[in-house]
Structures are given as C-alpha cells and as structure tokens.
Amino acid sequence: MTIKHINCDQMKESITKCILEQLPDWFGIPEAVEEYSSDSSGKPFFCAFDGDKPVGFLYLKETGRHTVELAVMGVLREYHRQGIGRKLFEEAAEKPGRWDILSCR
C-alpha cells in the first residue's frame, strides 16, 4: 500500500468519483458524488494505492488562512479495517503547506 500526494485535478476528480460511486451506503446521492468530485480540484489530495489501483483518498478544504479541515474521505469497502484512512490522514498531516495540522477534532 502506498500513499501519494496527487496534484493533477483530472486525476483527483476521477479517483474521487470512482471510489465514492462504489460506496453507495455512504455516498448514494449521485449529485453529491459529482459535487465532491468537482470540488476536489485545487485541494490538497492524497490517495492510497494497492499497486496501480486507487483504493482510498482524502482531500482537505482550506477554512481559513491557517486552517484546513478534512473535506471528504473514502476507502473501498474491501479495504476497510486495514488502517488506510489513518495512513491517509497521517500523510496529509505531514505534508508541508501554508498550515500546520496540529490536532484532529
């Protein structure tokens, strides 16, 4: 399992849509999936890969000059309970940016 920081907005949108569409219990409203997908552009975005297959992602949303929040996270059901969400969050917290991630609320 590798975690990568994704810069390409097209990849962000594609990964977001692909994963969220496979999680209908949590993301069952097609309009919401489209909104999450398009909203990923320009955001700090991290993706977990099993080989070449994207299996989880998260992106952050800037809420202030020095603050961010977790905007959305998704991990494919068959990869749940393997610590992927935690690894994604840890990678995002370590990524240098205009803000420091000091705590999770």
Chain mean position to CA 55: 10
Q: Which domain holds residue 58?
A: 2-94
Does 99 fall in a domain?
A: no
Check which CATH number belongs to the domain holding 86 and give it: 3.40.630.30
Does 105 fall in a domain?
A: no
pLDDT surpassing 60 at residue 105: no
User: What's the total number of domains in the chain?
Assistant: 1
Identify the pLDDT of residue 68. Answer: 83
Does 103 fall in a domain?
A: no
Does 55 fall in a domain?
A: yes
pTM of the model as a whole: 0.88
Identify the pLDDT of residue 66. Answer: 75
Does 24 fall in a domain?
A: yes
| Whether 64 contacts 52, CB under 8 Å | no
Give the mean pLDDT of 61-67.
82
